[in-house]
């Protein structure tokens, strides 16, 4: 099966041996950043989805763009609002985006503990995979009816979070501090 993997960070996942999610209305759809029902509050700023928070973190130097993104009710619309500004993403975005996603997921977990921790634990010890039509970084793409191939960075972060819950490294009382990276601001506040 490894012959399907051509990229050093890509992995092959058998659909029958993992938990996959694609649509937010499906059983494990709440694992997606596109899932509603997991509101966040960061420095007194109400944010409807982890996707909006993640996208806003691209633009610490553009608080007006952050406002536009966070004002959106739909996570997909929040993502689309960010697109025209992508050339103005923070210069280190590709280097730190995984750290920022981990932070966003930790906030989603702690602030929606009962619902999100339960969902993560319902995955058991199976691999968690975002089944994506086109994104092989955050998810894995189908290569045939049975297999998905990709880096699956989001799924891997979710599995790490699940382990942190099991090992009690993160709880409902955990305080998620801002990342120690330069210019980590939301509305010009660190």
Q: What pLDDT sits at residue 4?
A: 54
- For the chain, give the mean pLDDT: 95
Q: How far is residue 166's CA from residue 184's CA, in Å, rounded to a whole number?
A: 29
Residue 73: Cβ-neighbour burial (10 angstroms; 0-12, 13-18, 19+) = exposed
Q: What pLDDT sits at residue 2?
A: 45
Helix (H, G, I), strand (E, B) or coil at 35: coil
For residue 7, pLDDT beyond 50:
yes
Domains of the chain in sequence order: 2-166 (1.10.357.40)
Q: What pLDDT sits at residue 128?
A: 99
The structure tokens listed for 2 are: 């490894």
pLDDT (tens digit per residue) in 13-33: 999 999 999 999 999 999 999
- Reported pTM: 0.94
């Amino acid at each position: 099966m490894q012959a399907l993997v051509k990229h050093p960070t890509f992995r092959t996942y058998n659909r029958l041996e993992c938990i996959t999610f694609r649509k937010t209305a499906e059983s494990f759809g709440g694992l997606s950043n596109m899932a509603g029902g997991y509101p966040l509050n960061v420095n007194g700023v109400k944010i409807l989805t982890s996707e909006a928070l993640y996208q806003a973190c691209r633009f610490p130097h553009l608080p007006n763009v952050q406002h536009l993104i966070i004002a959106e009710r739909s996570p997909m619309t929040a993502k689309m609002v960010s697109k025209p500004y992508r050339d103005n993403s923070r210069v280190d975005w590709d280097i730190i985006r995984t750290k920022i996603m981990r932070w966003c997921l930790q906030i989603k977990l702690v602030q929606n503990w009962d619902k999100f921790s339960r969902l993560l634990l319902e995955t058991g010890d199976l691999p968690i995979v975002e089944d994506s039509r086109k994104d092989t970084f955050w998810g894995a793409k189908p290569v045939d009816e049975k297999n998905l191939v990709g880096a699956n960075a989001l799924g891997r972060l979710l599995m790490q979070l699940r382990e942190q819950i099991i090992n009690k490294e993160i709880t409902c009382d955990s305080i998620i501090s801002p990342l120690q990276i330069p210019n980590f601001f939301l509305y010009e506040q660190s």
